[in-house]
Structure 1
Amino acid sequence: MSKVPTTVITGFLGAGKTTLIRHLLQNAKGKRLALIINEFGDVGVDGELVKGCNDEACPEDDIVELANGCICCTVADDFLPTMQKLLDRENPPEHIIIETSGLALPKPLVKAFQWPDIRTRATVDGVVALIDADAVAAGRFAHDEAALAAARAADPNLDHDSPLEELFEEQLACADMVVLNKTDLVDAATLAAVRQQVEAETRPGVGIVNANHGAVDIAALLGITAAAEDDLDSRKSHMDGAEEHDHDDFDSFVLNGGEVADVDALVSKLGEVIAAHDVLRIKGMVAVAGKPSRLVIQAVGPRVQHFFDRAWKPGEARKTGLVVIGQKGLDQAAIEAGLRGVVG
């Protein structure tokens, strides 16, 4: 029996992984897919956004959410049993897609495919690293010492000896394909500079494609046939030889509330809170008074995007839930106080 190909989609917080997966599902061309989604935070935002976008390609029963911690740290407890259940099905998927947490290291996950119960039945078709071109251009992951010094001077409370740059390196070093996403937010010269930086962090032969809103041809991402689990030595990691990996350098919490009366006021306040507290990511669902559909909030750094998703289901509680993620020391009390005026 041939192995079930599996694609690992990695990328830092807010790079657009869920949007990319939605695009893949909507353009599956009859391929039967299964999804394993791992989030940092307690609200299944990504799973909710994916469910129902293409029932034929990936029914809700084939979407599995792992919320007990970052997938690279819970391989044995969460990931392996989940993979076994998918592979044991009478009609197993033709291709499995794994969306990792934005803080995950891909190499431990790839290494798990060497486990005896998995290696004869599934293979890592490819590791796809999604990069937010605008965030990289803004220096969020820069190695430029002058740029980091300038950022430190602008905000003396910001910890620039953080794992952000290391995570960026880890995800690129393990990649078989890199997607430069959100290219519509940068000009040609800036995009060329970002591409040069990415090329410096990737292995020889790794493909790089540009994308807006995660729109990449499914044929470019599925069918790479990398068998990455057999090629671990070429995928260098800061964690090689380490016993474990944790995310103690990051904090997250969930802000729950009721209906929001004014969307513009909410977006404005989110921007203020993000700037004041150096929040890395805010995402979630918002109930808007008088509106039949859920409002999705996707904030990455200073950018706050929002759009109406599906209608609230009959009997479904109309409530707001926002996941807030930042580096260690995030002032939860101050952030909650700043948003309580607009979140019911």
Structure 2
Amino acid sequence: MRIFVAVGAALALVLTAAPARAQSASWADRPHDVAGLPYLDLTSVSVKNTKKAITVTYRSRSLGNRNGTEVVLLDTDPRKPGPELQVGFGRYSEGWHAPMRRWKVDRSKAARKKWNPSPYGKARPCDGTVRINSRWKRNFTPVTITVREKKGCITSKRVRVQVSTATDGFSNHQRSDTFGAVVRDQLPHGKRAFTPWVKQRSTKAKARRTVDGADSLRWWSDIRSVAVDLTNERLSVAVNHLARPVQRHGIFLVYLDTNGDPTPDYVIELGTNHPIVRQASGWTTGGRQIACSIDGELAGAGLTRTRFSMPSAPCLGNPESVRVAVVATDRTSPVYAPVDWWGGTRTWTPAVARG
């Protein structure tokens, strides 16, 4: 009798301690990680400082975008706050250079005697020391800024630089559109940040190179989280992202794995007139379309939630568990397509058991 009671108590304890199978879960995604946006993405900058000239060469990638501005700031005096010279140009527009003081263009009488900050009008004594090679025939990369050292203009035994870009749209002389907001990049990152100081060396010395890291990009199709709910009757998936602008649209693909192998079994397409359910044919949108009573939609203008809900049986065979992989693509432009995967390319969420 005592043995029976002890075994029964132990069994009850085990059953009580067993975890319940979850039927819903939500996972966050890394923010600002959209890829494929044709902004002016800086990748590296090299600085060379000799007795004759300061040479700044930087590289970028922009997917053929010919819209935007690029600016280089040169800091040549460690004792004074901010840069001493600004050099910039707009893609397919005029370049300029201007002396600076305390982070602002120096418009003092003394500065105007040496520099003309406008690309038009009479040149001043220091204007001829600056040369911009934008390499516009090579998609504006690499760009080289050369500042010849001249007494009374720019002379320094040490120099550091900051490079920045800004663009509010895309243009390749055939198609164009607007982003709805200015997308910026800066090398190095950080408010009022500069590269390390580069000392004056011989002409044979190598340039000092600084590489840019990953950029933080805000875009409406940036996935913030994915929530999955699986019951005996229905599967529901909600994807939260940034607010969709009225002038932009896209496609969200939700891949479903119902048997635990590496490849998807079904794919749900959201962003068309009506959600589409297909048997997956690898990681594509191909495959046989399935007639299924599915309810769902792409987030409306100004909204942040794209979702669907569908019967788990018979559409999906009433699976014991499901895991999802989600990719959001902005399809507004026929030329470029910003894309974001939850968790990384072709990454599955943990499995959610049927509740």
| TM-score (norm: length of structure 1) | 0.23
- Which has more radius of gyration? 2
- Structure number having the greater helix percentage: 1
- Structure number having the greater strand percentage: 2
